[in-house]
Chains A and B, each alone.
Chain A
Amino acid sequence: MIYLDSAATTFQKPASVAAAMWDALATMSSPGRGGHSAAMRAADTAFQCRSELAELFHLDNPEQVVFTLNATHALNIAIKSLVPPGGRVVVSGYEHNAVTRPLEALGANVAVAVCPLFRPDAAEDAFQRLIKSGVSAVICSHVSNVFGFIQPLEAIAALCKSRGVPLIVDASQSAGVLPLDGKALGAAYIAMPGHKGLYGPQGTGVLLCGDGVQPRPLLEGGTGSLSIQQQMPDFLPDRLEAGTHNMPGIAGLLAGVRYVRQRGTKKILDRERQLIQQAADGLSRIPGLCVYAEPGMQNQTGVLSLTVKNQGAEELGTALAERNIAVRAGVHCSPLAHRSAGTLNTGTIRVSVSDFNTPGEISRLVSAVRRIRARK
């Protein structure tokens, strides 16, 4: 299979990830739940994973790294810690339902920083107009999961800092691909999946907590600490990690993080951009396709969307799946991004790559689309 759906989950992982997961199943129990060797081995692995994530994202303290089920879980903790029911929130025009649905559930008063695709200057202007005192939080998807559009995160973080408004970053598409400096950004929370650009397994996510935050747990339960007390501990990571940890997942995530650190995010980004540029060049020569690519790709990562004249996105996606090429068709759980880009009625076909894709695979994708379109 040619797998081009890495914006959902990276499918090809470093071999070390599966090996680490097997090792965890064979040798680890639960961290913080005993002094025997299986518990301590789990604790060592969890701590190592927190420490390496803290180093990758420039945080001083591994206790600020919280393991979650996925980015959605992490975002829910962050949003529900900062936004009261009916609170005022500013979001980018490219947010995922992982942000907009929790806000809807809270009845938040949401202002959208609307901007055209690949116009970070317009995004910054829009945030500049909307971030005011009294806003409970600004929430920004670093990179759009539909279009690969990179939001001007540093500028938005600076605006938040200067106006005293906490920032939540959805780094679902940027963690492991773009540099992300938690300390310099000063964000209250940065949420990310473990199973995309960090190459860990599904069922892993991470919430990076900024200095001085007071998060509200979504779950209460055992933490292996302060066991007699009936309130959740007030310290991290225990406050947000009730219940047994996903140790095979955390061990796999550690192996994935090590792969990213060894390769370097710049090399990974360069490779992904080259592949997406190749796809954009090839696909844009096919009549009837509208390809959403930025010339030069300065504000785009390894994600590319396209629409098709006289053919539904799902229809083309199915035809590619029949040829063993995996892309994603539809709205990608991000109606707000489609509304901003004007593609809500059609949806898009999304091509998203990882460090494991090759130029040959992109050539086969372009050839397959050309053949499918020639039959129309």
Chain B
Amino acid sequence: MEHYLILARSVTYAQRMQKVLNRAGVRCQIFRAPRDLSNLGCAYAVRIATVDLTAALTSLHAASLDPVQIFLYQRGLYQEVHP
């Protein structure tokens, strides 16, 4: 199923993102990011539905929680996006 992964610098950062998104009514889950998505090693990411990207980024930006990277999952592959 298509979704976005918003990469965070740490699990604590991902948890802060999750808290902000939950308050904004955006459903999300924290996941370990697939290894090949981060060239710096282990990472966590917040997964959201594709329809929620704009609302999520607006809320995160307002909370000064800018993502490290964003990936779109489509047809079994992750692709970095720059919305």
Contact = CB atoms under 8 A, between A and B. Distances in A.
Contacts of A47: 11-12, 15
B83 interface: no
A227 B41 contact: yes
A63 interface: yes
Nearest to B64: A61
Interface string B37-50: 00111111000000
Interface in B23-79: 30-32, 39-44
B16 A235 contact: no
Contact of B11 (A31, A61, A228, A229): A31
Interface size class of A (residues with CB under 8 A): 20 to 34
A71 to B, nearest CB: 22
Given A35-B32, A233-B10, A43 B40 contact: no
B12 A226 contact: no
Interface in A222-244: 223-229, 233, 235, 237-238
15 contacts: A32-B11, A35-B44, A40-B30, A46-B12, A47-B15, A62-B16, A63-B12, A63-B16, A224-B42, A225-B42, A226-B42, A228-B41, A233-B10, A237-B12, A238-B12
B3 interface: no
B46 to A, nearest CB: 12
B12 A50 contact: yes
Tell me the dominant secondary structure on chain B's binding face.
Answer: mixed
A235 B66 CA distance: 14
A43 B42 contact: no
A225 B11 contact: yes
B63 to A, nearest CB: 10
A44 B12 CA distance: 9
B11 A43 contact: yes
Given A225-B42, A225-B43, A227-B40, A61 B16 contact: yes
Determine which residue in B11, B30, B40 has the highest number of CB atoms from chain A within 10 A of its CB, and name it: B11
A235 B9 contact: yes
Nearest to B12: A63
